[in-house]
A and B are shown apart, each in its own frame.
Chain A
């Protein structure tokens, strides 16, 4: 078990817009596509049938939109650790996802992603953090940019019955 008390939790007051990390490379392995299909039940042939994918103008099989979360994650726990804080040990519900795909992603691509805290705001008694991720492929082409919003503080009694 990790020592979850070694660093203070990254609470709203210490979260600073611009908190970030150096970029990280992740290879899009076909094993991740297979894992996606196995765990989601989505077996779209464009993930496995190269001839079908090429007929759509792709260089080969492609990956699901959900792959953005896996190969270009927010890395927020690592951002907090680098700043000397730990991720709070409580749910931080996913509230909003705005994502743009600029180019196709195919297995074998190496995705270089930058992550940072982009924005923080309060609404209806809850506090939210917005993480921004931008990613390029091995040719330096932009492939993904997204903003992922988490409810950081402000759980309510009614949440237990939602």
Chain B
């Protein structure tokens, strides 16, 4: 069993959550390595297995020469990576298993790209909690900004909050 501190917010239960409470902010320093490595997860860097062979040498998130010639004028982060930030802020603050146990729903708009050197801060708060069909849910508004005030993504996420069957 993983060792956890007694102050871990994820040890709370659905009953402990309060409408209006803020989620713990997530801070990301965007670097070229940070952007590049997520392309590995997405399967965009292995020419033998990529579903997108055209990306080899033409990846906006990796290939500087290609990126400079295209719409953003340089390397930018993948929107999928920004979506990951918005999901992680929930799983870092809500009870264990929230959002990643099914029965959840996300609606995210991407408004600006990240770039190497950006400092991204993701914030959010619980706007609603309810129980339906014997399942507990919270609804959260989340927003990611770079360099203090430029919004890169905004979303609304309904997360299923599973009930713990035993103490960990």
Contact = CB atoms under 8 A, between A and B. Distances in A.
Count chain A CB atoms within 10 A of each CB in B42, B96, B99, B100 and give the residue with the most.
B100
A86 B1 CA distance: 49
The bracket for how many chain B residues form the interface is 35 or more
A19 B106 CA distance: 25
A58 B87 CA distance: 19
Given A39-B37, A98-B106, A91 B70 contact: yes
Given A1-B56, A52-B2, A160 B103 contact: no
Interface in A1-47: 1-2, 4, 32, 35-36, 38-40, 42, 44-46
A105 interface: yes
Given A44-B91, A70-B43, A162 B105 contact: no
Interface string B126-165: 0000000000000000000000000000000000001111
Nearest to A73: B51
Interface of B: 1-2, 4, 37-38, 40-43, 51-54, 56-58, 60, 70-74, 78-81, 83-84, 87-88, 91-92, 96-97, 99-110, 112-113, 162-168
21 contacts: A42-B91, A46-B91, A46-B96, A49-B1, A56-B163, A58-B101, A64-B88, A64-B100, A65-B87, A66-B41, A66-B83, A69-B80, A86-B54, A93-B110, A96-B108, A97-B106, A98-B106, A99-B105, A103-B103, A155-B71, A160-B71
